[in-house]
Structure 1
Amino acid sequence: MTDFDVLVLGAGSGGYACALRAAQLGLSVGLVEKDKVGGTCLHVGCIPTKALLHAGEVADSARESEQFGVRATFDGIDMAGVNAYKDGVVTRLFKGLTGLVKGRGITVLEGSGAVTGQREVTVTAADGSTEVHTGKHLVLATGSYSRSLPGLEVDGERVLTSEHALRLDRVPASVVVLGGGVIGCEFASVWRSFGAEVTIVEALPRLVAAEDEASSKALERAFRKRKIAFRTGTPFQSVKTTDDGVAVTVEGGDVIEAELLLVAVGRGPVTDGLGFERIGVAMERGFVLTDDRCRTNVEGVYAVGDIVPGLQLAHRGFAQGIFVAEHIAGLDPRPIDESAVPRVTYSHPEIASVGLDEATARETYGDDGVETLTYDLGGNGKSQILKTQGFVKLVRRTDGPVVGVHLVGDRVGELIGEAQLIYAWEAHADDVAPLVHAHPTQNEALGEAHLALAGKPLHAHS
């Protein structure tokens, strides 16, 4: 006999999605969480950072209002007010989520969980007491943590992770951001909007290097215009604290001084010391290895979210959690196509993409097997109204389906849903071109790009 049909270790996006869907399907569910239901994304990740980014957008709008004929003054940033707004968003979503979990009859097991036997988890409460729980199926969903570099000590005062940055009660005068990926570029964008001097240090040759090269170049141009400094192809060497902040030494001996250093070099899997190896779960560099149905090598044990190699995105974990619940319930869901998972960087401007970038497409299908088209947002009415610049870039197999969509511009993250459908349905340009898009919307840019790719450009030069 077991306590639950499904026992989930970790209540982040992947864990709580699995729990909610499993309960909806009539399964008994135990959900182990040491902190708060919602995990990194809700409390110290996606939601609070995007709230800060919106506050930054409001600040920029006030600062630049005269270009729209509106007389306004920008008097500065009240971080107490910004944090109250941010925390209010998180609190409302948290209350809603806990209500959903309770309403579905899910048993929340509060405490630190560790695997201590086959489909068995021991939960240690705050007072030190322990309980052992078992499940017919065990789902590992323990999430991720902010990485650092060897020899780089994070003190939470001068040298910060993103979690520390979200709790700042002031706008720093200057910041060095170590890492030019999604997290680094988003915080650089926020702090610049708030008025800080920002320098990004990135060891790879370009910012957001996982994106299409054209998207990286567009973001770099926009950041130069916003006076966000960045050094690409520049490895970090060391940091020391000074009377005024930090002194960061990079390869070549240059020293960059600032009030704070944000370490944004990626996230690692939270798996160490949790007993996964004890039951024989196959691991690699701390990540849990699974097949395309999220199954580990151990019968009845699954893994979802950031501990599984691949994109570390909340919506990927969410989808995997739903998939596992439906698989356990015998519904035979379709495996998740990793390339069809949309990706968004919520900087100013935003970057969004789905499918293959141009370089990967050419490696896959050959230079003669790939065609690309770029539609400039200069031809899009709503983008002109918003005064944003960017593009829609389409990558397709020669005379075949679209295999990649790449977007740059303010608010383009809202367009990625249609782009995902285009990619996932293996649509051809001629399939999308006849679709009617509302005018004036940025959504039209997707339609216009496909019109051009189908050989009938309108608001675009052929």
Structure 2
Amino acid sequence: MSSKRKVVVIGAGPAGYVCGIRLAQLGNDVTVVEKQYWGGTCLNVGCIPSKALIAAGSLLDKIRHADAMGITTKGVDLDIHKLVEWKQGVVGKLTSGVSGLLKQNGAKVVNGAAKIVDKNTVKVSGGSDGDVTLQCDDIVIATGSEVINIPGFTCDEKDVWSSTGALSPTEIPGHLLVIGGGYIGLELGMMYRKLGSEVTILEGTPGALPGQERDCVKVIERSMKKMGIKLITETFAQGWEAKGKKKIVTAKTKKGEEKIECDQILSTVGRKPYSADLGLENVGLTVTKQGFLEVDKQMRTKVPNIYAVGDIAGQPMLAHKGSHEGLVAAAVISGKNEEYDARCVPAVIFTSPEMSSVGLTEEQCKEKGLNYKTGQFPFAASGRAMSLMETDGFVKIIGDAETDEVLGVHMVGPEVTELIAEAALAIEMGATVEDIARTIHAHPTLPEAMMEAAEAVHGMVVHIYQKPKK
């Protein structure tokens, strides 16, 4: 393999642009093609704008409850147009930075829709750069994912929002009906509740956040109830009709058909990999039933010089996992002996309280027949959490009962989307529970809960009473 490769990266989301930058840093001739969003869904209409609005909702909620600290406020108003403008400013800074970073590192950028002609040729059309034919040694497919539309609820971003429409409102709906109780539905539903909407969430499974650690989910469900959010489980939206300015949604529930009146519908039933019109058939590539391209540990498809990274390369469909895959593919293309061998991928959910998870759940440990032990520490016993008036939740650590190796860490509570990094590092490096317990954590801080949970695994926690294990 020559030291310098000519590479075309299709897609400039977190997987594609990271791959493009690293390829350029390693001395390759790189062209990154993007047809719509520099920075992808995440930076433009996903992770970044949603977290900006969620932060605004949380700040507004804190202001409303500040009287417990002796802080009384009057006349607090929300200017939704200014909020959206601020959010868009955050997005603009980041997205303009993506194309800038690519160029600064020596990568070329091309606007338009890419189509693979053969394993060494990509045609780009319909963009501001006109029709372009690119010859290359390697192709990296990083096309991301798109919204799933369910029958009767096509997202037109007017009557029926996807997350895209929900992140650019012109007004706060009186009653928001959310279809889907996964992390996107809960994040946005709780955000709108804090901004003033009445919120109803329909979920097809028996509980919110299917697939997540149930002990953590129970805390989220209690919080939703406390906030006044109505969660209706084992329920499926069938269709809707307009009634003046209102919308009447027909839902199939455990008790039969139900009509729910609302002002706005938000559909958050999931996303699917984007592979339409890519020309995959021209190189003999086909996607799985779930829409993914199969890849090996070096991110290669069955065509040796064509790679796939990010959402199209399989679960979990998370930005940080895609970025890591992009780095792996760039290294492999550059002749380095690299492969995707991450032991764990952290998941973060910006609900209220926040939730995060990495490694195995208890259910997965049981399925694998592992001998494990757990330790848990509540934020109600954390001095720092008390000072923040955010004491709901806990840190839970799962350790191997024989080797003491950390198998999984699950958290729900204040700032746990930040705290999970320590847990991910522990699992990635093969740390033991004792390693965490022996690490001196600064006081008073939230991460102390991680140290205390580790001590709890061994029955030696200090700041709560732990009944001796028999």
Q: Give the one of 307, 318, 334 matched to 2:323.
A: 318
Partner of 1:376: 378
Deviation, 1:455, is 2.8
Partner of 2:393: 390
Equivalent-residue separation in structure 1 for 2:434 and 2:458 (angstroms): 6
Conservation of the 8 A alpha-carbon contact between 1:6 and 1:29: yes
The answer as to 2:360 corresponding to 1:359 is no
Amino acid at match of 2:311: D
The answer as to 2:452 corresponding to 1:448 is yes
Alpha-carbon displacement from aligned partner over 1:285-344 (angstroms, at most 9, x marks no partner): 32211122211011110001111220111111111101110111122224232x511101
Partner of 2:6: 5
Equivalent-residue separation in structure 2 for 1:194 and 1:151 (angstroms): 28
Alpha-carbon displacement from aligned partner over 1:317-375 (angstroms, at most 9, x marks no partner): 111101110111122224232x5111011111100000011101110124xx1222221
Conservation of the 8 A alpha-carbon contact between 1:452 and 1:460: no
Conservation of the 8 A alpha-carbon contact between 2:374 and 2:456: no
Partner of 2:257: 253
The equivalences for 1:139-218 within 5 A come to 139-218=140-219
Task: From the superposition, tell whether residues 396 and 365 of structure 1 become closer, same or farther in structure 2 (CA, over 3 Å).
Answer: farther
Deviation, 1:37, is 1.6
Conservation of the 8 A alpha-carbon contact between 1:349 and 1:408: yes
Partner of 2:313: 308
Equivalent-residue separation in structure 2 for 1:36 and 1:155 (angstroms): 19
The equivalences for 1:44-443 within 5 A come to 44-73=45-74, 75-126=76-127, 129-251=130-252, 252-285=256-289, 286-337=291-342, 340-366=344-370, 369-388=371-390, 389-399=392-402, 400-443=404-447
SS of the residue corresponding to residue 277 of structure 1 reads helix
Equivalent-residue separation in structure 1 for 2:128 and 2:50 (angstroms): 32
Amino acid at match of 2:23: A
Amino acid at match of 1:361: C
Alpha-carbon displacement from aligned partner over 1:42-81 (angstroms, at most 9, x marks no partner): 1111000000000001100111110111121353321111
Task: From the superposition, tell whether residues 448 and 270 of structure 1 become closer, same or farther in structure 2 (CA, over 3 Å).
Answer: same
Partner of 1:27: 28
Amino acid at match of 1:172: P
SS of the residue corresponding to residue 288 of structure 1 reads coil
Deviation, 1:411, is 1.2
Bigger shift: residues 147-156 or 448-457 = 147-156
Equivalent-residue separation in structure 2 for 1:131 and 1:4 (angstroms): 19
Equivalent-residue separation in structure 2 for 1:104 and 1:13 (angstroms): 16
Amino acid at match of 1:219: I
Task: From the superposition, tell whether residues 215 and 74 of structure 1 become closer, same or farther in structure 2 (CA, over 3 Å).
Answer: farther
Equivalent-residue separation in structure 1 for 2:201 and 2:152 (angstroms): 20
Amino acid at match of 1:449: A
Conservation of the 8 A alpha-carbon contact between 2:399 and 2:405: yes
Conservation of the 8 A alpha-carbon contact between 2:112 and 2:128: no
Conservation of the 8 A alpha-carbon contact between 2:99 and 2:109: no
Task: From the superposition, tell whether residues 74 and 348 of structure 1 become closer, same or farther in structure 2 (CA, over 3 Å).
Answer: farther
Amino acid at match of 2:386: Q
Deviation, 1:129, is 4.1
Deviation, 1:453, is 1.3
Ranges in structure 2 where 5+ consecutive residues have no aligned partner:
none
Deviation, 1:155, is 2.6
Amino acid at match of 2:110: L
Give me the TM-score of the superposition, normalised by structure 1.
Answer: 0.96
Conservation of the 8 A alpha-carbon contact between 1:9 and 1:33: yes
Equivalent-residue separation in structure 2 for 1:397 and 1:283 (angstroms): 37
SS of the residue corresponding to residue 14 of structure 1 reads helix
SS of the residue corresponding to residue 254 of structure 1 reads strand
Equivalent-residue separation in structure 2 for 1:218 and 1:333 (angstroms): 40
Conservation of the 8 A alpha-carbon contact between 1:158 and 1:241: no
Amino acid at match of 2:374: T
Equivalent-residue separation in structure 2 for 1:310 and 1:344 (angstroms): 15
Give me the TM-score of the superposition, normalised by structure 2.
Answer: 0.94
SS of the residue corresponding to residue 447 of structure 1 reads helix
Alpha-carbon displacement from aligned partner over 1:135-183 (angstroms, at most 9, x marks no partner): 2111000111111113432232111111111121111111010011111
Conservation of the 8 A alpha-carbon contact between 1:32 and 1:109: yes
Task: From the superposition, tell whether residues 13 and 296 of structure 1 become closer, same or farther in structure 2 (CA, over 3 Å).
Answer: same
Bigger shift: residues 327-336 or 175-184 = 327-336
Equivalent-residue separation in structure 1 for 2:151 and 2:309 (angstroms): 28
Amino acid at match of 1:378: A
Deviation, 1:4, is 6.0
SS of the residue corresponding to residue 287 of structure 1 reads coil
Ranges in structure 1 where 5+ consecutive residues have no aligned partner:
none
Bigger shift: residues 164-173 or 233-242 = 233-242
Deviation, 1:8, is 0.2
Amino acid at match of 2:401: T
Deviation, 1:83, is 0.8
Conservation of the 8 A alpha-carbon contact between 1:204 and 1:233: yes
Amino acid at match of 1:98: S
Equivalent-residue separation in structure 1 for 2:116 and 2:100 (angstroms): 27
